[in-house]
Structure 1
């Protein structure tokens, strides 16, 4: 269940369809995705209230064409055995400014190619891929997830082909990071080895998030260039 609260002209929460229609009438013609993390306000443009809410949620969407953004609050409700997820999107004012730290698709593609090499090297250097039944199962899971994603439509029709390539590569890097970060894989078991693993992979994770945002926002960025 999705609802939107804080919508201009509405005293209480409303359904998502009504909310998106109202926001369109207010001037919004598209949305940018933001995937911020502590110390990295990726995709945000302010003001501080919106940025703080988005950082807490670790995700948000920022309207294009009118100064409104949406931040999700996800919760579970219902009795045991019949639990469902509810999402309340808080509508907040945003600053009409370029989003923070979002690369072009060309930049993202180049960065990802290097990040994929670094992630692969990190897996080997930290012995995350290791040997034994646990590591074998992890590699099998990685291959299965990669094969399952092959050929699926990762973006809606109308996106440039480069955005699709960038997003698919970013998701592949994300899978490698997930494997490398998993506990019980390989020989990195001490606190210092775990810290080394995180330090090696943190820059790669940052690049992957930047690339995802660039890919998801490619359609809106193209509309903005046409308008300019």
Structure 2
């Protein structure tokens, strides 16, 4: 894995999603381990511009943000509101169909997070943020009041890492048994192109190396998954074989999400603890 250094930050070629970036950097900023400009710079990997709106009246009034449909606010306004209300560390959520863990029940926030496949939780304030790309280079963050109190959805990093390893082994065996794991011409070049196309993200200084290694591995497996799920040219894969392939890959998709979730939230936990120990 490539690593580059500059004062105050560590650059790794490791990708997850906009919510992961905001979760880590906003938590680092709130704990005094990063500057607000660092948060804003990190978000640029996902879009040249970011806007913020309140999805409901309570979010608008509490955080002093414009409602959806009004002229949007900015990430600077959001950060100021989080600081003013004493927001604690954020948490990443990566829900999927049939797996809404960490969302705390139904409601508009859960629905929006499920559609996006990602969200940022602010358990200390009872709000959640969901990013949606709405135009080329523009990401809109919608802030929702969370319907029910949230309890941390903790997954140990070593458990998530082992789960990813096991899922890789089991999925490979299942695909071989189904005879749907045949190499396509140029698949290695296709994978290399996907990995090269990923945004280069920077993480705060002090971000634990193991969390970043797990995040990197999950990202690489995610790229392989994306290729494995592409139908063969000419539709050579039958519909029944496609269903069996999807069933074989489902545990691996879950393991990738779990690994990303555990890596990001472990990074937040350790960064916050390091900041708390500073004199």
Q: TM-score range by the shorter chain?
A: 0.7 to 0.9
* Cα shift at 1:14: 0.8
2:151 aligns to what? 98
State the Cα deviation string for residues 134-167 of structure 1 (Å, max 9, x = none). Answer: x121232224555x49xx7674432222211211
1:68 aligns to what? 127
**Structure 2: gaps spanning 5 or more residues:** 1-48, 55-59
2: distance between equivalents of 1:197 and 1:140?
A: 22
RMSD (Å) for aligned C-alpha atoms:
3.0
Secondary structure of 1:165's counterpart equals helix
Q: Is the 8 A contact 1:159 1:218 kept in 2?
A: no
State the Cα deviation string for residues 159-218 of structure 1 (Å, max 9, x = none). Answer: 222211211121122122112211116996111100110010011101111111111111
1:209 aligns to what? 257
**Structure 1: gaps spanning 5 or more residues:** 77-83
Give the total of aligned pairs. 214
1:193 maps to 2:241: yes
Name which structure has the greater RCO, CA cutoff 8 Å, separation 6+: 2
Secondary structure of 1:54's counterpart equals helix
TM alignment of 1:172-191, pairs within 5 A: 172-184=220-232, 189-191=237-239
2: distance between equivalents of 1:55 and 1:214?
A: 18
TM-score (norm 2): 0.66
1:118 maps to 2:170: yes
Secondary structure of 1:69's counterpart equals strand
2: distance between equivalents of 1:43 and 1:138?
A: 35
TM-score (norm 1): 0.79
171-180 or 191-200, which deviates more? 171-180
* Cα shift at 1:51: 1.3
Q: Is the 8 A contact 1:138 1:185 kept in 2?
A: no
